[in-house]
Amino acid sequence: MLRTLVIAAHPDEPEIYAGGTAALLARAGHAVKFLTLTNGDAGHHHMERLPLARRRAEEAWQAADALGVTAYDIWDVHDGTLEVSVEARLKVLAEIRGWRADVVIALHGHGPGHPDNRAAGRLVEDAVAFATTRNVETGRPPLPRQPLCLTMTDYAALSFHRGELAVDVGPVLDAKLDACLAHASQFLEYAAWQRGFLDDAPAPGDTVKGRAFVARHWAPFLEATDSHRPALAARYGAEHAARVTHAESFALAPYGRQVDEEELRHLLPLFPA
């Protein structure tokens, strides 16, 4: 059994950016954990921080059930206050070691966008450097080998993200959409309010309309496009790649374990032989 850790800044980001890949790994019998480095308590247009943090934790657990994710941990850090510090780096390092991660999926650590997202990416990058270093102590034993590290795209990284690896998530699309819908405070409320289509949001619990709503408004993180085809063809073959309708895209991080194609396929057993 392989162990994958997806690290993001806010609850709902692992689901929209890597939820399909997580579901595929879980269905294949592997262990996947989601970790967010803030509790998301700023992300609403009328709810106060404490009730919002509680609600978002409940939504996260529902999302984990939809995907088959083994664990979902949320740091008690206020949304909007995540900083790149030695203390936070060591906490991330402890999380990576504690999960005994074979694969770590993280946000990009550089570029524009939400400061928490960039900080989360930087913290993972900096922590992984010490994953095997025994004298950097965290209370968790060092890993025997560096994990394979991937970066997932977010809304601010679309312009520079390198889609070197793409996963066909069509077989688990409904699970991914349901995981997003579990975060009703975000997909049906706050983000819809921010982006000006709150009046179009369906009622919570309307799965058919809800899936269609998320699929329409978050298409860049769901649909396979021409930019995905080369990476899809490299691992699924050109014929399969041409048929893929929904995909998730990842870059091979310059940090962590550098692998050849055989080891990549071993650590991410998602592709046909």
Residue 273 lies in a domain: no
pLDDT in tens, 47-69: 999 999 999 999 999 999 999 99
Residue 272 lies in a domain: no
Residue 109 lies in a domain: yes
Could you give the number of structural domains in the chain? 1
Residue 180 lies in a domain: yes
Residue 114 in this model has a pLDDT that exceeds 90:
yes
Residue 273 in this model has a pLDDT that exceeds 90:
no
- CATH code (residue 236): 3.40.50.10320
- Residues of the chain above pLDDT 70, percent: 100
pLDDT in tens, 6-61: 999 999 999 999 999 999 999 999 999 999 999 999 999 999 999 999 999 999 99
Instruction: Output the pLDDT for position 199.
Output: 95
Residue 85 lies in a domain: yes
pLDDT in tens, 150-178: 999 999 999 999 999 999 999 999 999 99
Residue 34 lies in a domain: yes
pLDDT in tens, 214-232: 999 999 999 999 999 999 9
Measured CA to CA, the distance from residue 215 to residue 187 in angstroms comes to 11
Residue range(s) defining the domain that contains residue 230: 3-267
Determine how many CB atoms are found less than 10 A away from the CB of residue 215: 16
